[in-house]
Amino acid sequence: MENLMELVIRFKKTRSEIILAEIFEIIKSMMWKYIHRINQFYKEDFMQELFIKTYEIIVKFEIQIDPFDSTSIIRNQKQLIYLLKSKYKYLVADFYRNNREYLEKEIENKRQKKRRNGKNKYSRNNHLKLYHRRIL
């Protein structure tokens, strides 16, 4: 992550999508910790939210460079990483909270499909089939 701050500075000057993609590639390893907390069916949606939040943070982040202090870039980078991690921490709960109704409907639809198709292994018909197999 040596060049993260340099890329952020260049992005703030140019607003280039190519530089933003490079920043995302560097930060992606930090994002995996939070991506793995999400159900596999919703990982893409959550990654998009992470990228949006990262973009918002980078745009709002104020870089304070002191020309007489050689460690100011490193200090700014540490502050940016700390800010990203602190925002990511609550994004998992926010994702589930914001999409709660949609996710509940989707889960209910999957349950209804299983019931209609008779794939529920505890349904009455399947239970009777298993019982008859044991007897025979």
Tens digits of residue pLDDT in 107-117 = 788 788 877 77
* pTM more than 0.75: no
CB 29 within 8 A of CB 13: no
Residue 12: its pLDDT value, please?
92
Burial class, 79, CB count within 10 angstroms (exposed 0-12 / middle 13-18 / buried 19+): middle
The answer to whether residue 64 scores a pLDDT higher than 50 is: yes
Which two tokens mark 127?
């239970």
> Mind listing the pLDDT tens digit for each residue in 100-136?
888 778 778 878 887 777 555 555 555 555 544 545 4
38 Cβ contact partners less than 8 Å away, ≥ 6 residues apart: 46, 92, 95
pLDDT band at 80 (very low <50, low <70, confident <90, very high): very high
CB 72 within 8 A of CB 65: yes
CB 5 within 8 A of CB 76: yes
